[in-house]
C-alpha cells in the first residue's frame, strides 16, 4: 500500500509512467483541514513510487501552498504529464484553474479555465 511520507498528506490520482513507475498527486493539509502548508510543506506535490515495493522514488515537483491538484493525466507512452491545479483562495475572483504540463522537472502553464485534463 502506498503511503505519503507525511501523516498530514494523502495520495490521489495514481497514474503509471514509463518504466513502470507510479505517479501520484500528494495533497498536504494543515491541522485545521485547510490546504495551507502542513509542517512547512507545500500544499501539493507530484511524487513517484515504485509500485512493486511501495517505496517513494522521489518528488518530481512541488506546487505552491494554495494548490489543490484536481486532475492528473499521463499519456499512453508514459512520458507526458498534465496536472490541473485548482488553487484554494479566499477570493473566488482569484481562483483560476490552470492546466500544466510537466517539462524538465517544472510545471509549464498550458491553459486556464479547465476542470479536467486528459491525454
User: For residue range 33-67, what is the model confidence (pLDDT) as tens digits?
Assistant: 665 554 555 578 999 999 999 999 999 998 877 78
In a domain, 3, yes or no: no
- CA neighbours closer than 13 Å in the CB half-sphere of residue 6: 21
In a domain, 2, yes or no: no
Q: Work out the average pLDDT over 11-37.
A: 82
CB 21 within 8 A of CB 2: no
In a domain, 73, yes or no: yes
In a domain, 31, yes or no: yes
Band (116; pLDDT cuts 50, 70, 90): confident
Which range of residues forms the domain containing residue 78? 9-112
**20 phi and psi angles, rounded to 5 deg:** 80, 5
What does DSSP say about strands 22-28 and 9-16: parallel, antiparallel, or unpaired? Answer: antiparallel
Q: How far apart (Å, rounded) are the C-alpha atoms in residues 114 and 39? A: 30
pTM equals 0.82
- Three-state DSSP state, 4: coil
In a domain, 26, yes or no: yes
| pLDDT reported for residue 33 | 62
Q: How far apart (Å, rounded) are the C-alpha atoms in residues 116 and 101? A: 13
Q: How far apart (Å, rounded) are the C-alpha atoms in residues 115 and 102? A: 18
Contacts of 3 (CB under 8 A, 6+ apart): 11, 54
| pLDDT reported for residue 34 | 60
In a domain, 117, yes or no: no
In a domain, 4, yes or no: no
Cell of 96: 483560476
| pLDDT reported for residue 97 | 86
**Structural domains in the chain (count):** 1
In a domain, 53, yes or no: yes
Q: What is the pLDDT of residues 75-101, one digit of tens each?
A: 989 889 999 988 776 556 666 888 999
Amino acid at each position: 500500500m502506498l503511503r505519503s511520507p507525511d501523516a498530514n498528506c494523502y495520495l490521489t490520482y495514481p497514474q503509471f509512467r514509463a518504466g513502470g513507475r507510479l505517479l501520484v498527486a500528494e495533497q498536504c493539509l494543515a491541522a485545521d483541514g485547510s490546504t495551507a502548508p502542513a509542517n512547512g510543506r507545500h500544499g501539493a506535490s507530484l511524487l513517484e513510487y515504485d509500485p512493486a515495493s511501495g517505496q517513494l522514488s522521489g518528488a518530481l515537483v512541488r506546487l505552491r501552498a494554495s494548490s489543490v491538484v484536481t486532475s492528473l493525466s499521463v499519456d499512453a507512452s508514459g512520458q507526458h504529464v498534465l496536472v490541473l491545479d485548482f488553487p484554494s483562495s479566499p477570493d473566488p475572483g482569484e481562483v483560476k484553474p490552470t492546466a500544466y504540463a510537466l517539462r524538465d522537472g517544472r510545471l509549464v502553464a498550458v491553459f486556464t479555465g479547465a476542470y479536467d485534463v486528459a491525454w
